[in-house]
Amino acid sequence: MIDVVDIERLVVTWLSPQTRFAAEQKLVERAEDDPHRTMAALCWLLAMWTVTIHLRTGRPPATVVAAMSYRQVWRSPEAPQSERVWEALTDRIRLGVLAALTADADSAVEFHTHVDNPRGMGPIMLRHALGVMASMAEDMRIIGVDPQDMAGTLALYTIDPDGPTAPCFRPLA
């Protein structure tokens, strides 16, 4: 949970244009050092945001995940080839979020493989995930939810279980 709280702090800092560069540098360093741990924390945070949207709107988590998109400025209908690349990257992020939501071992292994292949994909997926997160944070604000400190609050009121467990939101998936 500590990873998720740290990642959340950096993502929220990244969401502000004034502090984006420094936060992105720290996130990229983490992704280069340990891409699996970084991407797992990002996907877990996105899963938490998915559950929050579900609880606020009643939209099923699978629908929220399917609606995730990369809406940054360089995405345009004039570039169909680029569009396929952005969608393929978004599909990888969706898979990671579903793995976090359900603790499905097959999805987690497949996502893990996507982080590794091709080599150096972790930082690329990180940057793409940040774009997806910016869109999702905007969606959350529209429904009256501030994404800041959600993971920190959950960590504060959650007791770590005895022994190793895979955190997930299985009852909601």
Only one residue has tokens 């007791």, namely 159
Average pLDDT over all residues of the chain = 86
- What one-character DSSP code corresponds to residue 172? G
Q: Quote the CA–CA distance of 48 and 171 in Å, as a whole number.
A: 13
pTM attached to this predicted model: 0.85
Taking only the tens place, the pLDDT of each residue in 58-114 is: 999 999 999 998 876 555 565 666 777 888 999 999 999 999 999 889 999 999 999
Q: How many CA atoms lie within 13 A of 121 on its CB side?
A: 16
Cα(116)–Cα(87) distance, integer angstroms: 18
Distance, CA of 104 to CA of 14 (rounded, Å): 29
Q: Domain segments of the chain: what residues?
A: 2-159
Using left for φ > 0, alpha for ψ between -120 and 50, and beta otherwise, residue 158 falls in: beta
Tokens coding 155: 């960590």
- Does pLDDT of 29 surpass 90? yes
